Structure 1
Amino acid sequence: MDFPTTERQASFLQLADRLAEAFAERAGEQDRSGEFPYANFADIRAAGLPALVVPVEFGGWGGDLLDAIMVAEHLARGDGSTALSFVMHMQTIGSAVEAGGWPQAPLAELCRAAVERGALVNSLATEPALGSPSRGGRPQTIAQPIYGSDGTITRWILTGCKSFASMFPVLDYAILPAALEDGSDEVGRFLVAVDDHFRVERAWDAIGMR
Structure 2
Amino acid sequence: MTQTAGSAVEDRTAVTEALARLPRVVDLLAARAEEHDRDGTFPYQGIEAVHEAGLLTLTVAQKYGGAGGTLADTVRVLAQLGRGDASVAVLTAFTLLQHAEQARTGAWPAAGYRRLLTESRRGPALVNTLRAEPEGAGPLPATVARWDGEAWLLTGRKADCAGAEALAWMAVWARTEEPVPRVGTFLVRGDSEGVEIDPTWDQLGLRASAGHDVILDSVRVGPEGALKLAAPGTAGAAESAAAETSRAWHDLALCAVHLGVARAAQEWLVRFLQQRTPANLTEPLATLPRYRSALGEIEAALIGAEELVYGLAAGVDRGEASATARTGAAQLLVNRAVTGAVQQAVALTGNPGLSRRHPLERYLRDVLSGRTHFPADEVVLEATGRAVLDRAARRS
Normalising by structure 2, we get a TM-score of: 0.46
From 18, 22, 26, give the equivalent of 1:20: 26
Q: Which amino acid aligns with 1:15?
A: R
Write the mapping of 1:54-69 to structure 2, written as runs, cut at 5 A: 54-69=60-75
1:194 aligned partner, one-letter code:
G
Deviation digits for residues 27-86 of structure 1 (CA, Å, limit 9, x no counterpart):
112111211111111222333332210111212111111111111111111111211221
User: For the residues of structure 2 that align with 1:10 and 1:46, how far apart are their CA atoms?
Assistant: 15
After TM superposition, give the deviation of residue 113 of structure 1 in Å.
3.6
* Counterpart Cα distance in 2 of 1:7 and 1:87: 21
CA contact (8 A) 2:48 2:124 kept: no
**Against the structure 1 CA distance between its residues 129 and 97, is the aligned structure 2 distance closer, same or farther, given a 3 Å change threshold?**
same
Give the structure 1 partner of residue 80 of structure 2. Answer: 74
**Paired positions, count:** 195
* Residue among 120, 127, 135 paired with 1:129: 135
Q: CA RMSD in A?
A: 2.2
Please give the per-residue CA displacement for 1:142-198, whole angstroms capped at 9, x wherever unaligned. Answer: 001011xxxxxx211101001111012221000001111133411121111101532
Displacement of 1:139 in angstroms is 0.5
Partners of 1:120 and 1:171 within 8 A in 2: yes
Contact 1:176 1:192 in 2 (8 A): yes
Which fold has the larger relative contact order, with Cα–Cα distance below 8 Å and residues 6 or more apart in sequence?
Answer: 1
Matching residue's letter, 2:153: I
One-letter amino acid of the counterpart of residue 116, structure 2? L
- Which stretch of the first structure deviates more once superposed, 30-39 or 200-209? 200-209
CA distance in 2, matches of 1:54, 1:184: 36
Query: CA distance change for structure 1 residues 56 and 68 in 2, over 3 Å: closer, same or farther?
Result: same
- Quick check: 1:59–1:112 contact (8 Å CA) kept in 2? no
Match for residue 34 of structure 1 among 36, 40, 43: 40
Which residue does 2:163 correspond to in 1? Answer: 167
User: Which whole-Å CA distance do the structure 1 matches of 2:25 and 2:89 have between them?
Assistant: 10
- For residues 165 and 181 of structure 2, the distance between their equivalents in structure 1, rounded to whole angstroms, comes to 32
Unaligned runs of 5+ in 1: 1-5, 148-153
Give the SS at the match of 2:148.
Answer: strand
Match of 1:43 among 49, 65, 68: 49
Specify which of 177, 200, 206 is matched with residue 197 of structure 2. 200
Task: Report SS of the residue matched to 2:162.
Answer: coil
Equivalent residue in structure 2 for 1:182, among 178, 181, 196: 178
Out of 140, 146, 161, the residue aligned to residue 138 of structure 1 is: 140
Q: 45-54 or 171-180, which moves further after superposition?
A: 45-54
Unaligned runs of 5+ in 2: 1-11, 210-396
Counterpart-to-counterpart distance in 2, 1:49 and 1:178: 30
Is the CA contact 1:130–1:138 (under 8 Å) kept in the aligned structure 2? Answer: no
Distance 1:179 1:58 in 2: 30
Higher helix share: 2
User: 2: distance between equivalents of 1:127 and 1:30?
Assistant: 26
Identity %: 32
